[in-house]
Amino acid sequence: MVSLILENEKPVINRVNGMRIAGGQEMGLACDFTISSDLARYGQAGPKHGSAPDGGSTDFLDLYVGFARSIESCVLCEQWSAHKAMHLGLVNEIVPVLQDGSGNWVANPMVTFDWVNSSTGQIVFGDFLVGEEAKVAKELKDKCTIDFSRLDAAVAGLSWKLANTFPGCTRKTLSSVRKKKLHWWDSNRESNREWLALNMAVEAAAGFRAFNVGGGKREDGSRIPRQVDFIEVRQAIARGEAWTPELVESFMPHQKE
């Protein structure tokens, strides 16, 4: 699928209205343009869930955001808001999709629009709010309705801009710019596919299973995580334990209090 996107003679627009995470991120990276809801989230899931982002992110992501941000996303799997993704160069355009009771558009209230944290000097634009601020923001968000009309209009607007170019010159430009992606994709895709298949018998067996069984609530109301206990995994590897179904099951979060 990624190869077909990269070889398509027409411009490919990624319209994002939810979570562009893991494989979704990689499909989006293969596209030429990204138009996004400002509620969307971007990121990877590989090392947190038993895999590696070898479906395109290890080939493409640094072309968009640079090495430092790319390795941070690929390894740590911390999500970016649409605003942060646009600031980093991952997204072409974001549009609001929330409307209040009066029909006014509301920018994503769950992120900060401050540029710098005055205490640390860190750039914080687009970072997710936490604590009491996040709780208040969620209450505001829950009072709004979602309307994708501006997202659709933005995609239509970009399509119209593309229509007003010479088709032959556009095809040549696409193939020239895509060469950076294709170079690394063609170099790695077969070996990456083989590794991804082999890994399903080891770490992915635990990571994917944990994601599947987690997510619910315990009797005390606490949320069951969708991740294994990584320290237990590392200790089991250090002891030389075999990746048996019993070992995988022992890592499952539903067995943790």
Q: What is the pLDDT along the chain (257 residues), one digit of tens a residue?
A: 999 999 999 999 999 999 999 999 999 999 999 999 999 999 999 999 999 999 999 999 999 999 999 999 999 999 999 999 999 999 999 999 999 999 999 999 999 999 999 999 999 999 999 999 999 999 999 999 999 999 999 999 999 999 999 999 999 999 999 999 999 999 999 999 999 999 999 999 999 999 998 988 888 878 899 999 999 999 999 999 999 999 999 999 875 55
In sequence order, what are the beta bridge partners of 43? 21
CA dist 255 and 154 (Å) reads 46
Q: What is the pTM of this model?
A: 0.92
CA dist 117 and 102 (Å) reads 33
Give the torsion through C-alpha atoms of 140, 101, 112, 38, to 10 deg.
120
Which structural domains are found in the chain, ordered by start? 1-95+148-199 (3.90.226.10), 98-146 (no CATH), 203-255 (no CATH)
Q: Cβ(13)–Cβ(152) under 8 Å?
A: no
CA dist 49 and 40 (Å) reads 21
Orientation angle between helical segments 57-76 and 23-30, nearest 10 degrees: 140
What are 111's two structure tokens?
């992120």
Identity at 108, one-letter amino acid code: N
Q: Cβ(144)–Cβ(103) under 8 Å?
A: no
Pairing of strands 98-99, 145-146: antiparallel
Q: Which of 64, 44, 63 is nearest to 55 (CA)?
A: 44
Q: Tens of pLDDT along 177-221?
A: 999 999 999 999 999 999 999 999 999 999 999 999 898 888 887
CA dist 252 and 70 (Å) reads 29
What are 76's two structure tokens?
């740590």
Element at 166 (helix H, strand E): none
CA dist 185 and 55 (Å) reads 9
